[in-house]
Amino acid sequence: MTENKEIFDTTIIGGGPIGLFSAFYAGLRQMKVRLIESLPQVGGQLKALYPEKTIFDVAGFPSIKAKELVSVLTKQTLQFDPAVILGQKVEKLKRLPNGVIELQTKKGEKYLSRTVIITAGVGAFSPRLFKVENVKSYEHDNLYYYVHDIQQFAGQSVVILGGGDSAVDWANALEPIAAQVTVVHRRNAFRAHESSVRQMKQSNVKIATPFTAKAIVERGKTIEKLIINEVKGDREMELPLDDLIVNYGFVSELGPIKDWKLTLDKNSIIVNSKMETNIPGVYAAGDIVSYPGKVKLIATGFGEAPVAVNNAKHFIDPNARTQPMHSSSSRLFGQ
């Protein structure tokens, strides 16, 4: 076990988009910042699951690929040279008698911090699996739960299972390059953004609703066809395919965070208007938080991050302004 005795002003747990922006903003407030991410790279779900996904609701970008958003956020964050710890999962959080917060990772490393900002998204996540026999064997061939490179589907016949944002977004992204895209959903209505559904319905994407997957026809360890059944009906269809993408959503859990004595609402951390948790010096922002009127969007998290940082700054230095000057007036950028 290694104890790092240097005390940082704030430690950010989670290196997704909100964690990256929090690290940048804390640097802007001239705080000494450490960021700890459990994955081997920053970016969170955007980088790990949806790098090719196009995002339309980030201010200033008419549209931007998830991996590109992570890239510009990382560039922005590194301006202030934060200490970035990758591949370490924080398992324990403890407030010491002197008020300093001690974090311990799964690898036994200990880190000290005056404040902590939790930006761990939805916590640990795993896809809802396509429940067929020997499903793991197909994952090595033509069954996918997320897409890293859309070009691998160029000229292919692709079937997508699901009716949420991811299923619809992938259908729209693949329609121009795949030979054929078919979306199978168990309801007639989709649970996706209205404009995305409209785009899909106006394209060449084939839509099979209300249908569910019944069985597969395999060739070796490859899925050759998908048999689908009409919900509350008698129709059955056979869909030939080259690739099958399953977008049934993800199961998330807080993992060790649930043992940190935070006040929780299911899988969310309850915060107040200052992004404070019930533990002094511990703040949270992004999809992991809950408060009245909370909307889970990246855009919302980008607003919560400065609130958490400014209040953390004031917590460790009561003379510091909670309401800072505008960044356009800052001398930190050499203006």
Annotated binding site for FAD: 37, 45, 50, 90, 125, 287, 328
Please report which confidence band the pLDDT of residue 331 belongs to, taking 50, 70 and 90 as the band edges.
low
pLDDT digits (tens, 9 = 90+) for 266-281: 889 999 999 999 999 9
Residue 145 or residue 309, greater confidence? 309
Q: How confident is the model at residue 52 (pLDDT cuts 50, 70, 90)?
A: confident
Please write the tens of the pLDDT for every residue from 79-137.
999 999 998 899 999 999 999 999 999 889 999 999 999 998 766 666 788 887 767 77
Comparing 1 with 253, which gets the higher pLDDT?
253
Average pLDDT, integer, range 240-246: 96
Residue of 146, 155, 193, 191 lying closest to 175 (CA atoms): 155
Specify the range with the lowest mean pLDDT, choosing from 11-15, 183-187, 250-254: 250-254
Distance CA 265, CA 109 (A): 29
Tokens of 76: 């922005």
Q: Any bridge partners for residue 93, and if so which? A: 103
Summary mean pLDDT of the chain: 91
Strands 143-144 and 243-246: parallel
User: DSSP 3-state assignment of 214?
Assistant: strand
Q: Are 211 and 230 in contact (CB under 8 A)?
A: yes
Residue 300 structure tokens: 């919302």
Strands 33-37, 54-55: parallel, antiparallel or unpaired by DSSP?
Answer: unpaired
For the chain, the farthest-separated pair of C-alpha atoms sits apart, in whole angstroms, at 71
Asked if the model's pLDDT at residue 329 lies above 70, the reply is no
Q: How far, in whole angstroms, is CA 197 from its chain's centroid? A: 22
Q: Which residues pair with 253 in a beta bridge?
A: 124
202-230 pLDDT tens trace: 999 999 999 999 988 888 778 999 999 99
What crossing angle do the helices spanning 17-28 and 66-77 adopt, rounded to 10°? 20
The CA distance from 161 to 145, in Å, is 10
Query: Residue 148 has what pLDDT?
Result: 78
Confidence of residue 263 (pLDDT cuts 50, 70, 90): very high
DSSP 3-state assignment of 300?
helix
Look at residue 121 in the predicted model and tell me its pLDDT: 77
What pLDDT is attached to residue 74? 96
Paired tokens of 330? 């800052």
Binding residue positions: 37, 45, 50, 90, 125, 287, 328
In this predicted structure, which of 98-112, 249-263, 308-322 has the lowest mean pLDDT? Answer: 249-263
Cα–Cα distance measured from residue 120 to residue 268, given in angstroms and rounded to the nearest whole number: 10
Strand bridging mode 110-118 / 124-127 = unpaired
Token couple for 8: 């940082």
Structure-block tokens of residue 96: 């010491």
The model's pLDDT over 128-158, given as tens digits with 9 standing for 90+, comes to: 888 877 677 787 789 998 787 889 999 999 9
Q: Which of 48-57, 171-180, 211-220, 226-235 has the lowest mean pLDDT?
A: 48-57
First to last CA, the chain: 45
